[in-house]
Amino acid sequence: MDKFLLQVEKRCARCVTTLVLAPLLCAAPHLLHAQSTTAPSPAKPAAPDWAQPGSATHTQVAPPPGFHRPTRTSERAIGIFQGQSDVGGALLPGNSSYDPETRQYTITSAGYNAWYARDEFHYLWKRMSGDVSLAADIAFPNPDGYEDRKAVLVIRQDLDDDSKEVLVALHGGGMIQLAQRPEKDVRVKDMEYRIGGRGLPGGKSPDSLVPVLAKRIAIEKEGDSFTLLVSVESEPMHPFGPPIQLHMNGPFYVGIGFCAHLPDKTDTAVLSNVVLATDKIR
């Protein structure tokens, strides 16, 4: 009798073991199949050292000679512009939105710089010819963005990262510039302006020189002459510094853009009350 009970117990134990393991054995092939076919997410490309922004421990330098990335372009219209591009193919894709009531464009972009012999920035553009003027109010919503980030108004010969171009820019730290790349694959040269005042909010004392960000900037093309226009405190737009002389073949690209000055992080600029005209907008 005892021997019979012992055999029953052994058989029951084997049954329980089989009942417990059977579902796992049935599922195991599917688990193994899932493990073998699920690929890991692709890693974000690392930004090269030369593209890192300047800091107390690092100096940004020009890209290596001959370095280029293809531009990513969408022909989908946004506001008054015919399309938009990630000029220079920044490591992170840019994007934009438009509010027709305020004529406000919000542009988010990464990009190491719009400088040297190639650019990286998100660009909203329209093909045009002849004389043109483009103006916008500019704001940077993120108070902690990199100081040298820049919102730009640009006239470019093409959409390549090394295109001939003239641009006006307002930097996050307040600098205004009128810059040109006179030929393809040539280093940018410019005139730079910084505005400051004393007795303004933000200074350590009333005698501190406080940077002032212009409220509105514009670029004006008349023939081969390109002029920077500025409104510091909502006064009428007025020329600022000497114009640039450069010939552009029509049609060319006219538009607005933003560069975070960070190769692998995005930031945002808001350009509002945007006006694009074929006559002067002073």
- Structural domains for the chain: 71-195+208-277 (2.60.120.200)
What percent of the chain has pLDDT above 70? 84
Report the pLDDT value the prediction gives residue 45, as an integer from 0 to 100: 74
Q: pLDDT for 107-121, tens place per residue?
A: 999 999 999 999 999
User: Would strands 176-181 and 121-128 be described as parallel, antiparallel, or unpaired?
Assistant: unpaired
Closest CA to 108 of 96, 126, 116, 124: 96
Report the pLDDT value the prediction gives residue 82, as an integer from 0 to 100: 98
Cβ-based neighbour number of residue 194 at 10 Å: 13
Residue 182 in 3-state DSSP? coil
Query: How far apart are alpha carbons 246 and 228 in whole angstroms?
Result: 14
Report the pLDDT value the prediction gives residue 6, as an integer from 0 to 100: 41
Residue 36 in 3-state DSSP? helix
Q: Which amino acid is at 29?
A: P
Cβ-based neighbour number of residue 228 at 10 Å: 26
Using 70 as the pLDDT threshold, list the residues of the chain that sit under it: 1-44
In angstroms, how far is the first alpha carbon of the chain from the final one? 111
Computed over its alpha carbons, how large is the radius of gyration of the chain? 29
Provide the token pair at 82.
């015919």
Considering the entire predicted model, what is its pTM?
Answer: 0.84
